[in-house]
Structures are given as structure tokens and as C-alpha cells.
Amino acid sequence: MVPLSYYLVLSGILFACGVTGFLIKRNIISIFMSIELMLNGVNLSFVAFAAHWHALAGQVFVFFVMVVAAAEAAVGLAIIIAVYRTRETLNVDQVNLLKL
């Protein structure tokens, strides 16, 4: 039997990797993927708690988190494409002027 804390530690590790990626990566798409990793870590935590407290609302909330993440990914990638068209770069350090 797997204790709840193991699931939480795994979720924490994934979240920490996501935060690290967000801080150290310079490519905007990689940063976005670290955000998705953070969301996945949190989803695992929700499902683990839903199993622990026998509350299915946790799983329903994971469903909503996934939907919101999908919507956010769509709009975020569209913004990235729009920014790439004008700035010609995907490196966040070079997108530092408000007007070209």
C-alpha cells in the first residue's frame, strides 16, 4: 500500500522541476512547458487527495484544471506566434523593449 505522502512528494518534485524550468530556461516554449509540468504536478496532488478522502470532487477539479490548461496553451501559443512574427526570436532575454 502506498501512503498518501509518497504521492505528495512525487507531486512536489514535479512542481519543483516545473518551477526550476520556469526560472532557468530562456526559450519561451520551454518556459510554457514548465508551466504545464507544474499544472500536472498539482493534478497528481488533487487526485491523490481525492483517493485519500474518498471525495470524487478532487477528480472533477482535475478535469477542470486540464480544460483550463488546454485553453491557456492554445491562447499562449498563439501569442508566442504573434510575438515571433514581429521580434523574430524565441529567446525571452531579447524581448526586452516595449517597442521595437
Partner 1 sequence: MISVHLILFLVFGAVAVAGAVNLLAQRHPINSALSLIAVMAALAGEYLLLGAEFVAAVQVIVYAGAVMVLFVFTIMLLNAGVEEHTKGSHVASLFGIPGVLLGSILIAWAVLRNSGTEAVAAGPWINTVSNGRPQDLPGSPETIGPLLFHEFLLPFEITSVLILIAIMGAVVLASKPPSTSSGPAKEAGN
Residues that bind partner 1 (CB under 8 A): 1-10, 12-21, 23-27, 29-30, 32-34, 36-37, 40, 43-44, 47-48, 50-52, 54, 56-57, 59-60, 62-64, 66-75, 77-82, 84, 90-91, 93
Closest among 44, 32, 42 to 77, alpha carbons compared: 32
Helix (H, G, I), strand (E, B) or coil at 96: coil
Whose Cβ is closer to partner 1: residue 54's or residue 98's?
54
Residue type, 4: L
Whose Cβ is closer to partner 1: residue 21's or residue 97's?
21
Are the C-beta atoms of residues 56 and 50 closer than 8 Å to each other? yes
